[in-house]
Structure 1
């Protein structure tokens, strides 16, 4: 960058950052942004030598000032004519109000009527006058031309008389308005003498200019304070966000450690409680057994158990002998199986016939 040697003369480190931020107060930047982008910081520092804090170059600012001066001149001219016209309208309105409440001299009525007609004619002429248009191409309103309206002007004598008395009446009206404005701006001077009020009027413009400059200074100071407050707010929010992040990490780590300890303590507690419940169950089982089985019943149960075990042993021996016989029968094959089935069938028939004979013998004895 060609402007880098000039940039180094502006300052280094934090001073350069502060100068860049001061040169561009409308930009939403922080020192952290400039620190992370040093080349961009140098570019802004070089650019600050060619533009003002609002972003305008010197030639453009000069042209803007000239345009503002021209606009201010045109505005003053328009305000002068507009205030004069408004003052005349107010004088006519005040006259109409006074005329309805009191009887006014004829010459005064003639003065205000002539002034009102002149104002109406001037307004109509201004509305009908279309500027540089030629007479052939100039459109008309209801076939009227400015000359038709000018013919409605009062007599030259009445207009001349009105013009002679107009400055005095206008000065009187403006003085009353100024005194009213003075009473509004300085209520403590409302009951003062006429000479004191007149003296205060001469200093009212300077006082208003002073108040205006003071208000503009306060406004500029308020804007600077607003920009400074916005920067401080951004820094505060960034620092607060970082603090919240650190606090969250600390809380999370502490919570994990504490949670591990709590889980271990809860596990020990539940293990102890489970062991206690098991011991209680065993105790209840022993108490139930003691309440249910007496020494005599235990001895009887032992005898019954011994008898059942002996019978079970004999049954197992019988089962083993039967299984060995079956195994020997299975060796003989399918023919023996058919003979065995036939033997079973004949045995069942014999048992049935034996039972029938017994029954028949019982009925025969009867």
Structure 2
């Protein structure tokens, strides 16, 4: 067996083109891509070997066989349980229908009583898993409850009527199910309904298989969508990285041109603001003064500017002289102060002489 599986593996590994697809189809539940298998060839070979021993769900062949046998046994027991359970529920439904219709027939009363007694006996009868020495409920035993069974005559009569009544109840319920499944068939005749009812099981089985197929197809589409989404995100990430590279590469050139345009824009805007300020100043002058006044102000301004220049030049010459005087030291400063005092006295005496002369005349 090992040699045959090894040969099959070698054959599979020989087809490198289809190996990746075979592995991906053998393990659909694994989140793998063809790029992962190409980057990890040893792991790909390991998965190819495992595919010879396990199925798509990951179970080995012997375990899968045992699981199928256990599943068949479980289904058989489940069908048997469902058979008795459906019969029991159908009988209960018949009793409930009689109660709702308020039709107290001896048949239904006997059947209801039999069902209650059977249920109580089942509750009181210890199973193989319980302790037989455990005290029963209220000290009752199944024999005590069996005494409450109806008379044998009524029970026999009820058993004779059960098949006919049960058949009628199941038929009405099946027709109701048919009307629910296909509301358009409700207005048809009873014979046609019965004929279509015989094909309802096959139709339901067909719809069930179709739903299972659609569910499986939906699962495959989900896996495919996940792979495509992952591939799309990978390509989108590459595009974003490329876009970032282009932006970083061309940002300096574009930024230089943009800064130049901004500088020209701000220069033009600044010039426009200056011209607007000048215009506002001229408008204020025109609104405040007449043209003759403005011309006179200009002449006064020119004269004052000339005098200001002359004063500045005189100030500079005096400062130069003062600086040259300061070089001579403190002795020259005392002589300069004495000179200033004498000059002031001379000016005062000159003024007094002029005034005296003017007064004598």
Q: What TM-score, normalized by structure 2, do the two folds share?
A: 0.74
Q: Give 3-state SS (helix, strand or coil) of 2:187's partner.
A: coil
Q: Is the 8 A contact 2:126 2:132 kept in 1?
A: no
Q: Is the 8 A contact 1:183 1:189 kept in 2?
A: yes
Larger C-alpha radius of gyration, 1 or 2?
Answer: 1
Give the 3 Å change call, closer, same or farther, for CA 292–142 of structure 1 in structure 2. Answer: same
Find the aligned partners of 1:307 and 1:206 in 2 and give their Cα distance.
Answer: 126
Q: Give 3-state SS (helix, strand or coil) of 2:139's partner.
A: coil
Q: How does 1:26-65 map to 2 (within 5 A)?
A: 26-65=29-68
Q: Is the 8 A contact 1:20 1:45 kept in 2?
A: yes
How much has 1:272 moved relative to structure 2? 9.0
Q: Unaligned stretches of 5+ in structure 2?
A: 275-296, 334-361
Give the 3 Å change call, closer, same or farther, for CA 325–204 of structure 1 in structure 2. Answer: closer
Residue of structure 2 equivalent to 1:19: 22
Q: What TM-score, normalized by structure 1, do the two folds share?
A: 0.73
Q: Superposition RMSD on alpha carbons, in Å?
A: 3.7
- Greater CA deviation, 149-158 or 311-320? 311-320
Give the 3 Å change call, closer, same or farther, for CA 52–321 of structure 1 in structure 2. Answer: closer
Give the 3 Å change call, closer, same or farther, for CA 57–292 of structure 1 in structure 2. Answer: same
Is 1:86 equivalent to 2:95 in the alignment?
no
Find the aligned partners of 1:211 and 1:309 in 2 and give their Cα distance.
Answer: 115
Residue of structure 1 equivalent to 2:207: 211
Which residue among 222, 226, 234 is the counterpart of 1:226?
Answer: 222
Which residue among 250, 256, 261 is the counterpart of 1:260?
Answer: 256
Which residue among 118, 122, 125 is the counterpart of 1:122?
Answer: 118
Q: Is the 8 A contact 2:26 2:56 kept in 1?
A: yes
Is 1:168 equivalent to 2:164 in the alignment?
yes
- Greater CA deviation, 75-84 or 184-193? 184-193
Find the aligned partners of 1:305 and 1:229 in 2 and give their Cα distance.
Answer: 90
Give the 3 Å change call, closer, same or farther, for CA 72–273 of structure 1 in structure 2. Answer: closer
Residue of structure 1 equivalent to 2:12: 10
Q: Deviations over 1:310-356 (max 9, x none)?
A: 76676566545546999xxxxxxxxxxxxxxxxxxxxxxxxxxxxxx
Q: Deviations over 1:186-214 (max 9, x none)?
A: 22221222221221122111111111111
- Greater CA deviation, 246-255 or 40-49? 246-255
Find the aligned partners of 2:37 and 2:92 in 1 and give their Cα distance.
Answer: 61
Give the 3 Å change call, closer, same or farther, for CA 246–128 of structure 1 in structure 2. Answer: same
Find the aligned partners of 1:306 and 1:131 in 2 and give their Cα distance.
Answer: 132
Residue of structure 2 equivalent to 1:242: 238
Give the 3 Å change call, closer, same or farther, for CA 243–121 of structure 1 in structure 2. Answer: same
For these two proteins, the number of residue pairs brought into alignment is: 312
Give the 3 Å change call, closer, same or farther, for CA 309–205 of structure 1 in structure 2. Answer: closer
Is 1:292 equivalent to 2:294 in the alignment?
no
Q: Is the 8 A contact 1:4 1:42 kept in 2?
A: no
Give the 3 Å change call, closer, same or farther, for CA 79–253 of structure 1 in structure 2. Answer: same
Q: Unaligned stretches of 5+ in structure 1?
A: 279-287, 327-366
Find the aligned partners of 2:57 and 2:308 in 1 and give their Cα distance.
Answer: 114
How much has 1:292 moved relative to structure 2? 3.0
